[in-house]
A and B are shown apart, each in its own frame.
Chain A
Amino acid sequence: MMQAIPLKARDFKSDVKPIWCPGCGHFSVLNAITKAMAALGIDKDDTVLVSGIGCSSRLPAYVDSYGFHGVHGRGLAIAQGLKVARPDLTVLALGGDGDGFSIGGNHFIHACRRNVNMTYIAMDNEVYGMTKGQASPTTPMDWDHSKLTPHGPGVRPFKPAALALASGAPWIGRGYSGNPNQIAKLIAEAVEFPGFSFLHVMSQCITFCPEQTDWKAVVSEMDGPPLADADAAAKQFLHEDGFQTGLLYREERPTWPPVGETAVDETALASLAASFSV
């Protein structure tokens, strides 16, 4: 019998040409996703990429799987509805920092808390790129390149890993667009993790934040195994510089919905109707 030839990363790319600027960090994430899919040997037909709105949220169309490009901030909600309804599918949600931490912030908190078995990749470039360069929730306080906030946002950027931890995310990783191989490895681990895995990727915006090329000099890789102690992780996530990459935190806890036998009674509908009969 002929053996199926394993698919390569490029086999997972669609024929739609990305709208991203040359040098955009998101290309690295796209490559990493296709590489991880090839490494995992997962079936294109059984995989769904779901996103919101923004530069990074365009990604599902660039992958040859099923996809859903939704509205701004709601990708996580679509993805959870899909995964709960169709637990047989591999579901990845992805989007940017504005999409996930600003307009979609409430969904982020509750997705971490709910722990549906899926992966969320936040591609964080600290800026709203699609609307031409406004400050986002992760933009540094003194970043004064936007006409909307000419003196800088003046508000402390928030810390996605700390928020994810506080909200109950059981798997927290961080990658950097300058190191796509590491991102691919992290995505593969995230997909295989039984629960909600949150991968925060620092994905540079070459157009509106060219200074982010300096990230290369400061990123580091975490030594040793991921933290499993929430107290230690909280201390780290609140005080770190945010440039440490790798699998940062991991604990196992029950996913939602609880896995159980759904014994479907063929007569259940008739019984429900009969319950109204006097």
Chain B
Amino acid sequence: MSEHHLSIAITGAGGAGVISCGELLLQAWAREGGRGLLRKAYGPQIRGGESAALLKLTDSERYTAAGHYDVVVALDWDNFSRFEDEIGLKPESWVLCDEGQELPAAVAAAKPHLVHLPFAELAAACHPQGRINMLALGVLGRLLGLPTASMVELALQKLANKPEAYRDAATACIEHGAAREPACRLPVPALGAAGSWYLSGNQAAGLGALESGIRFVAAYPITPASDVLEWMAGGLEQVGGQLLQAEDELAAINMTIGAAFGGVPAFTATSGPGLALMTESIGLAIASETPVTIFNVMRGGPSTGIPTKSEQSDLNIALYGLHGDAPHLVLAPLDIADCVFTTGWAVQLAQRLQTPAIVLSDQFIGQSTAIVSEPRRCEPFPPEPAVEAEATDAGGGEYLRYRLTDDGVSGVAYPGDRNRRFTADGLEHSEKGTPSARQSDHQAQLAKRQNKLTDFNYGDDWAAVSGEGQVGLVSFGSSSAAVAEAAERLAQQGVSTRVVSLRLLAPLQSAALAAALEGCSLAVVIEQNHSRQLFHYLRGQMDFQQPLHSYAMAGPVPLAPENIAQAVVEVMES
């Protein structure tokens, strides 16, 4: 525990309602102007397995996973071992649990303070339908100093469609829990921030996509991306668009290509296995210059891997997974709130550059919920340039769909446009779109598709850069928060850093990255995978002015800032 944050883990069997308890607690905390993160950890069971709500209440919006927990509320200890790696305890931690159950060995070994609370007995005494999660909510709310009425109100909203007895029971349990003497006394992070939003990274991505104009989604369910698609199903109904549930990912990507060819901005979301299935047709989108956005929520791989947990190991497939010379966009949101901006930016870049964009989110930011300031939005790009006038009249010049232009972007026509008929093709083609195996056409079209990406001015959003130290810390996507916190720890040890968090991975902004690292005596590339994918990519793409080192740690446990800081110190001393 530090004065900056307080971490709370609530664990229990599936169905005990620990996730609901965590959500309600965080929502009540948000209402008071608090900041915080809720990570949800599930076992492999569909229903009835164990789960954990992992809360980190903070006074800033830099959301890293907690390294250890100040408070653990164990509604039961069934299968706690599944979360042992993620719920570290210290002697100063507090554990609230029922007396009747034996402590898991790992918990006992940490020798935390123990407070025995007969959750089940107390809940039953409150109300015949009383539930232990609501009792725990009251207990934790009291510990945080949250208004009881606020917790009750939020719980009743959540239970609005349940029988009245449920609502009465929830009220009784919350009120009883909150009325008890605090189980322990802990310093609580500062409250009072204004203008809060409460959302998950997957919801944020859906919002960013719709705000940037997505009106067609093809969906095939996959963990941990399904909730992007589910949120968008509801969202599209309201803004006026279509969601098509596909028979597989092969269909999903091709349906988005079809819709985008028709001029309707199109999107799909998936995870590693689905992305692998889509790759052939992502190549089709590149060759036919059809804009689609593929939002990939990374999980542990390869194969089925670890579907419910996080890893940054799809970078290679996103960058290199396509056959042929296939330039496209790859982006990564830096945190939950940034999912709005980066997804919106990806959609608009794809539209403008007539190419697919792959966005690499991950389970950690995708399925965690956070309290954030109103997220930054991607401003609408200026309208697309019109198709050249000479090509618009029937007989008065020929419409060339793949016309070679200075910036590589050709004027696009959509079915229904008068007299600009063409056939889009995955076969190499002439400027007109006619299939061609001629070397001159192949060279010209390859260069066009590459140049339109490399010559575009992406502005300052290619990365978030902070600090002016001589130790460069380079990461991408959701590692950014852990790296920023590591930088803070290093600063306390007198090590001044420069943090570069990449948002645009392809095309790599090599010159900007080199400039950002100018003057650094060394740089460490930090990522959450085993094979150092970002490190090897950067080394292959550009020359660095300083020695480049690697800190790569596979998932599924989120990167720990203290481990990153330690690794950087070791590099400096080596």
- A and B: bona fide binding partners: yes
Which residue of chain A is the closest to B256 with respect to CB atoms?
A81
B207 contact from A77, A262, A276, A278, Cβ within 8 A: A276
A255 to chain B, nearest CB (A): 13
Task: Determine whether the beta carbon of B248 is less than 8 Å from that of A78.
Answer: no
B415 cross-chain contacts in A, Cβ below 8 A: 45-48, 66, 82, 86, 89
B69 cross-chain contacts in A, Cβ below 8 A: none
The CA of A84 and the CA of B244, in the complex, are separated in Å by: 8
| 0/1 interface trace, chain B 7-43, chain A, CB 8 Å (1 if under) | 0000000000000000000010011000000000000
A164 to chain B, nearest CB (A): 15
The CA of A58 and the CA of B416, in the complex, are separated in Å by: 22
Give B195-234 interface residues, CB cut-off 8 Å to A: 195-199, 203, 207, 210-211, 215-216, 218
| 0/1 interface trace, chain A 122-149, chain B, CB 8 Å (1 if under) | 0000000000000000000000000000
Most buried by A among B199, B216, B261: B261
Taking the complex as formed, is B445 at the interface, i.e. its CB lies under 8 A from any CB of chain A? no
Task: Determine whether the beta carbon of B211 is less than 8 Å from that of A273.
Answer: yes
Known: A69-B426, A81-B259. A74 touches B251 (CB 8 A): yes
B336 to chain A, nearest CB (A): 11
Task: Determine whether the beta carbon of A78 is less than 8 Å from that of B27.
Answer: no
A73 cross-chain contacts in B, Cβ below 8 A: 250
| 0/1 interface trace, chain B 432-453, chain A, CB 8 Å (1 if under) | 0111000000000000000000
Taking the complex as formed, is B423 at the interface, i.e. its CB lies under 8 A from any CB of chain A? yes
Known: A69-B425, A74-B254, A110-B247. A16 touches B262 (CB 8 A): no
The CA of A272 and the CA of B435, in the complex, are separated in Å by: 44
The CA of A69 and the CA of B30, in the complex, are separated in Å by: 52
Question: Between A and B, how many residue pairs show CB distances below 8 Å?
Answer: 172
Task: Determine whether the beta carbon of A71 is less than 8 Å from that of B281.
Answer: yes
Taking the complex as formed, is A159 at the interface, i.e. its CB lies under 8 A from any CB of chain B? no
Most buried by A among B196, B261, B415, B421: B415
B423 contact from A68, A85, A268, Cβ within 8 A: A68
Taking the complex as formed, is B185 at the interface, i.e. its CB lies under 8 A from any CB of chain A? no
Taking the complex as formed, is A240 at the interface, i.e. its CB lies under 8 A from any CB of chain B? no
A46 cross-chain contacts in B, Cβ below 8 A: 415-416
B211 cross-chain contacts in A, Cβ below 8 A: 269, 273
Task: Determine whether the beta carbon of B240 is less than 8 Å from that of A278.
Answer: no
Taking the complex as formed, is B242 at the interface, i.e. its CB lies under 8 A from any CB of chain A? yes
The CA of A257 and the CA of B283, in the complex, are separated in Å by: 28
Taking the complex as formed, is B257 at the interface, i.e. its CB lies under 8 A from any CB of chain A? yes
B287 to chain A, nearest CB (A): 9
Interface size on A, residues (CB 8 A): 51
Main secondary structure of the interface of B (DSSP, over half): mixed
The CA of A68 and the CA of B435, in the complex, are separated in Å by: 12
Task: Determine whether the beta carbon of B423 is less than 8 Å from that of A80.
Answer: no
B240 contact from A49, A68, A88, A268, Cβ within 8 A: A268
Known: A77-B255, A80-B258, A269-B239. A278 touches B421 (CB 8 A): no
Task: Determine whether the beta carbon of A107 is less than 8 Å from that of B422.
Answer: no
Which residue of chain A is the closest to B244 with respect to CB atoms?
A84
Task: Determine whether the beta carbon of A84 is less than 8 Å from that of B199.
Answer: no
B199 cross-chain contacts in A, Cβ below 8 A: 276
Task: Determine whether the beta carbon of A45 is less than 8 Å from that of B240.
Answer: no
Task: Determine whether the beta carbon of B255 is less than 8 Å from that of A81.
Answer: yes
25 A-B pairs with CB atoms under 8 Å apart are: A46-B416, A47-B415, A48-B262, A58-B435, A60-B423, A61-B433, A68-B258, A69-B423, A69-B435, A70-B426, A78-B258, A79-B258, A81-B216, A82-B261, A85-B215, A85-B216, A85-B266, A86-B415, A107-B250, A110-B246, A110-B247, A272-B235, A273-B207, A276-B207, A277-B374
Closest 7 A/B residue pairs (Cβ): A81-B258, A81-B255, A67-B423, A264-B240, A85-B259, A77-B254, A82-B258
Binding site for A on B (CB under 8 A): 27, 30-31, 195-199, 203, 207, 210-211, 215-216, 218, 235, 238-240, 242, 244, 246-248, 250-252, 254-259, 261-264, 266, 280-281, 283-284, 288, 371, 374, 415-427, 433-435
